[in-house]
Amino acid sequence: MRPSDPFADRYTKLRLVGRGGFGVVYRAWDTEMERDIALKLLNPDLAADADWRKRFRQEATAASKLNHPNITIVFDRGEYESQPFIVMEFVEGEPLSKVIEQRLSLSDPERLFLIEQLCDGLHYAHQRHIVHRDVKPVNLVVREDHDGTALVRTLKILDFGIAKVVNTGQTSTGGMMFTPSYVSPEQIRGDEVDRRSDMFAVGAVAYELLVFKKAFDITSKNPFTFLEEVKQKIVAEPHLPMAAIRPDIDPELSGVVDRALAKAPEDRFKDLAEMRRSLHRIRIRLEENAPSSSQTTIVLNPKVQAVVKLARQALEADDPTAAVVHLQEALRSASNKVVKRFIEQSLEEALERQAAKRLERRARDEGAARGAIDYAKTAFERGDTTQAIRRLDEFQPAELVSEARDDLARAAALVRRAERIVAEGDADDRQAVLLELEAFTPADLGVAPLARLRARDGLERAAVARALSAIESARAAFTAGNRSEALESRAQFDEPRRVASALQELREANTAID
């Protein structure tokens, strides 16, 4: 049965991936959201009555509100020509049934981590009053992710909200749909079903994953004896202890599975959170006691897994500092020594990358600082002190140029004082300040200003000498009676301020004679 045009408008590239009692499942491409999805079309024979379709809508809507890393997301639901359909997240991975069938080489801690995730997802749903009712290996998908340093397995639960509606609809016609090896005794008896029925199925799945045999192997193919065998094995007979199949099984672990498989619901765990805590405690003990060579994968809880993934993405984006922050957060949440060692190794790598990047950045900054200092020195040498200081004030990181900036500021202050003394001071003061500038360190800052000021000082000395010579000539002319010539020579001197005092003296003398 292949979807027709209403689906083809949005869901394309359909490929059949599974077929069962509930209907068929296609992998498809959602053209609006641009993502792969699983499109499940339910068997129209199951939806013959309107009340059943109403219940299906209610249960599918409730399931769509479940948001948990171990539960497959329901995106949409609807009907086409009275045939219900569901649009779900498509999960890349292998069904747990195939992992069991192929006897995938997993350590007990790795297997327990998968069961812990199953408990987590189901407990989350139970808290929201949703019971799965059809937990079995084929409804559980194991996705493998390589984060660059470790293999992380995530378990996803499929088909929430479907089994309850199907069973409700079938009961009304006197029948019941279930998977015999995982159905609880109360379901067989027709008693009220609650979260503890899912717990029984979790126990059956755990049993099978740990010993690669079903706790309740139903072999009858005869429809007349099939239900009787189910009732006998599920309701009446105890399951074979796991130690009889695997003598090396941990006794405490065997006890947890046995309790989940108790015939009476009240003899099981209070809820799956309690069962998960028991499994977690056993897993931590097994991991810490196992030789490191036996660890083929690292078991990370979803929170730590998410943080480690962020750290790996940060490293790939060349941001080791962010990776260090993420890994330090993950380290605080490490549940045991094995996980802690793994995170510490990743953190060591991130810290090395961070140190290398800091050295690289430091070298780059130091090169830029040398360029800024050279620019400032050049500006200072040509007399543009303001631009030189501003360039260093604007540079970041400031500490790389702070010493050069302080030296430049000291040199600028000395040069301003020297310029004033050379312009206005006497010979001794000028000589002293020039010697001070000559002795300034770092020496390269004083070279250009010193050369300018020495040249200016030489001009000053020559001007003074010319002034003294002019004054002597004027006095001689005045003494010889050439007063007009003496006064005129002072007035025409190229730097009148240097001879102003002598000129005033001669004018006063001239007035007195007159």
Domain ranges of the chain: 5-89, 94-298, 300-382, 383-453, 461-513
Decide if domain 5-89 falls under CATH 3.30.200.20.
yes
Task: Name beta bridge partners: 38.
Answer: 27, 88
Lowest mean pLDDT among 347-361, 373-387, 413-427: 413-427
**Domain 94-298 homologous superfamily, CATH:** Transferase(Phosphotransferase) domain 1 (1.10.510.10)
Cis? peptide before 6, omega within 30° of 0:
no
Element (H, E) at 142: strand 140-146
- Residue that wins the pLDDT comparison between 4 and 323: 323
Summarize pLDDT for 464-506 with one digit per residue, the tens: 566 666 667 767 776 777 767 666 655 555 555 544 555 566 5
Fold matches, 5-89 and 94-298: no
Q: pLDDT tier at 377 (50, 70, 90 boundaries)?
A: confident
Task: Name beta bridge partners: 157.
Answer: 71, 140
The pLDDT of residue 127: 93
**DSSP string covering 99-119:** HHHTT----HHHHHHHHHHHH
The pLDDT of residue 122: 96
Within 382-426, residue ranges assigned H as helices are 385-394, 402-424
Q: Average pLDDT, stretch 367-389? A: 89
Q: pLDDT tier at 173 (50, 70, 90 boundaries)?
A: very low
Please give the Cα distance from 340 to 407 (Å, whole number). Answer: 51
What separation in angstroms does the CA of 425 have from each of 134, 141, 457?
104, 94, 10
Summarize pLDDT for 433-454 with one digit per residue, the tens: 778 877 887 777 767 777 777 7
Mean pLDDT, the chain, whole residue set: 81
Tokens matching residue 197: 């029925």
Nearest to 300 by CA among 342, 272, 328: 342
pLDDT above 60: residue 371: yes
pLDDT above 90: residue 270: yes
Summarize pLDDT for 48-85 with one digit per residue, the tens: 667 767 767 777 787 788 889 899 988 888 777 777 88
170-179 per-residue burial string, b: 16 or more CB within 10 A, e: under 16? eeeeeeebbb
On whether the CB atoms of residues 161 and 63 are closer than 8 A, the answer is: yes
Residues assigned a catalytic role:
134
- Residue that wins the pLDDT comparison between 259 and 76: 259
For the packed helices 337-381 and 302-316, what is the interaxial angle rounded to 10 degrees? 30
Q: Average pLDDT, stretch 157-182? A: 59
Question: pTM of the entire structure?
Answer: 0.61
Indicate the residue type of 327.
Answer: L
CA-based R_g, the chain, Å: 46
On whether the CB atoms of residues 436 and 418 are closer than 8 A, the answer is: yes
- Residue that wins the pLDDT comparison between 417 and 185: 185
Lowest mean pLDDT among 150-154, 292-296, 335-339, 388-392: 292-296
What separation in angstroms does the CA of 67 have from each of 142, 195, 227, 445, 468?
18, 18, 36, 69, 101
Q: Average pLDDT, stretch 221-247? A: 90
Percent of the chain with pLDDT over 70: 78
